[in-house]
Amino acid sequence: MEPEFATATELLRALGAREVSSVELLDDLLAAVERNDAEVNAFVTVDAEGARERAAAADAARARGEDLGPLGGLPMTIKDCFETAGIRTTVGAPFLADYVPERDADAVARLRAAGAIVYGKTNLPMFTADGQAYNEVAGTTNNPWDLARAPGGSSGGSAAALAAGMTPLELGSDIAGSVRIPASVCGVFGHKPSFGLVPQRGHIPGPPGTLAPADMNAIGPLARGVDDLELALDVLAGPAAADAVAWRLELPPARRDSLAGYRISAWLDDDACPVATEVVTTLRAALDALAAAGAQIVEEPPPVPLADSIRLHRMLLKGVACSGPDEEGFGRLRELAAGLDPDDHSDRADHARWMTMSKREWNRVDEERARARARWAEFFAERDAFLTPTMFCPAILHDHLPEMEARTISIDGVERPYWDQVCWIAPAGAAYLPAVSLPAGLTAGGLPVGLQVTAPYLEDRTALDLARRAAEVLGGFVPPPAFAVAETA
């Protein structure tokens, strides 16, 4: 077994059989970080000394016959927006460069209680607010498939570390594709759970100490296989401590027991966000392969038009982001919004308008979301899952223009808005639905493409099961060539 590219499930099996110790596995992974991270720069912090102590303690407990939990002795890493007791948490912000929390985020605490050994924090944009992964604290993370390209955002370091063989399991967060997009462009698996399944306490932003959860933000894993995603979900999902007094979680099983049994709809392109030709070609081949394997797929549009989902998601996202600017910055936005022409719906105008909307206006948007969720529920009464691109293009070239709205992406000879990256993830995000991104194949240029599986609310196991069965047909994770060569040399 090559530990750098094994799945977490395979590594746990080896740990349980005592074919490898936690310390040995940790040392293998730290060696991979030493060998590969100079090029990729996926890590913000590596806690080798503390992790070795915890791994040695896990090995000793195993030797005594103790139950270490479902993640017993597995080394893993955490996106640097989650508070980790004793390990600094920077969120890419210079003023938090030396911040060492006293408590774990709830999700991190659940992973540690299940036996995980945290040895590093992975890179992201400052305050998770970009579709790339760079900041003044840790610099720029590169995509292992092409170092000139970004690994996606905001869990870019997470996906890059997985793809380059430097971690077997990652904890990420997703409010606007931040798990799914990096998984897509780095060729790994990512799961955005149904909203509310995993407590958010200890996630930054909001500021350290924030207790109120952010709308749409979902805490979920990234991995090199679906079994790992489901294993992590079983550890992470459940009510927050205050709710656990009365609430229990019992996710329904997958709806079907075979690929052929699933009632699948698919939609690969849309005028609201045209998909790059090379992505459509790759996904078309993936759907053909699934059909040849027995899948029954009907191509049809979503129950909520994509354009409506994109607008709804962005309005709700601004409702979260409006807490970020200081009073002076927010005042400027209010002045700008007040002076807008009602017919001006440019990105700049909509940004100012939605960032400063009143609670009355937000209530109207929330009602629109509720109606969209009802339409999705009706849709899923007759269908089990909906397949789409995760993102409209492969990994983008690095672009650090300070004004994000001025950035563009050149696709099929057309300059596209930078934020078109978050269009195809919008339906599941706005409607609180579970979604999994899995590797669907490579473009002619050799870059990964993600296929997104969206399932009914709280039916995460259906999304995971179908993703697992699809991956068995499509091939699953493949190491980036440069790092696969380095691994086997």
Beta bridge partners, 422, equal: none
Distance separating alpha carbons of residues 450 and 228, to the nearest angstrom = 17
**DSSP summary character for residue 397:** B
Q: In what order do the strands lie in the sheet with 169-174?
A: 43-46, 117-122, 75-79, 169-174, 218-223, 189-192, 435-442, 448-454, 385-389, 263-266, 296-299
Active site residue 79: yes
Report how far residue 234's alpha carbon sits from residue 414's, in angstroms, rounded to the nearest whole number: 43
- Are 133 and 125 in contact by the 8 Å Cβ rule? The answer is yes
Amino acid residing at 138: A
Decide: 93 and 115 in contact? Cβ < 8 Å: no
Catalytic residue list contains 184:
no
How many Cβ atoms sit within 10 Å of the Cβ of residue 212?
Answer: 9
- Cα diameter, the chain: 72
Given 21, 22, 121, 154, which residue is catalytic?
Answer: 154
What is the rounded CA–CA span in Å between residue 96 and residue 44? 12
Beta bridge partners of 46: 120
Please pick, among 79, 121, 192, 318, the residue that the annotation labels catalytic.
79
Quick one: CA torsion of 165, 96, 207, 78, rounded to 10 degrees?
Answer: 10
Give the CA dihedral 309, 311, 317, 319, nearest 10 degrees: -120
**Beta partners for residue 189, in sequence order:** 223
End-to-end CA distance of the chain: 15
**For residue 357, how far is the Cα from the chain centroid?**
28
Can you state the angle between helices 277-292 and 460-474, rounded to 10 degrees? 90
CB atoms within 10 A of CB 193: 28
Cα of 453 vs its chain's centroid, Å: 13
CA pair distance 158, 191, nearest whole angstrom? 13
Tokens of 405: 């709205």
d(CA 299, CA 156): 31
**Taking a C-beta distance cutoff of 8 angstroms, is the pair 432, 452 a contact?**
no
In the residue annotation, 359 being an active-site residue is answered as no
Distance between CA atoms of residues 325 and 355, nearest Å: 10
Q: Of the residues 178, 184, 265, 437, which is catalytic?
A: 178
The residues annotated with a catalytic role in the active site are 79, 154, 178
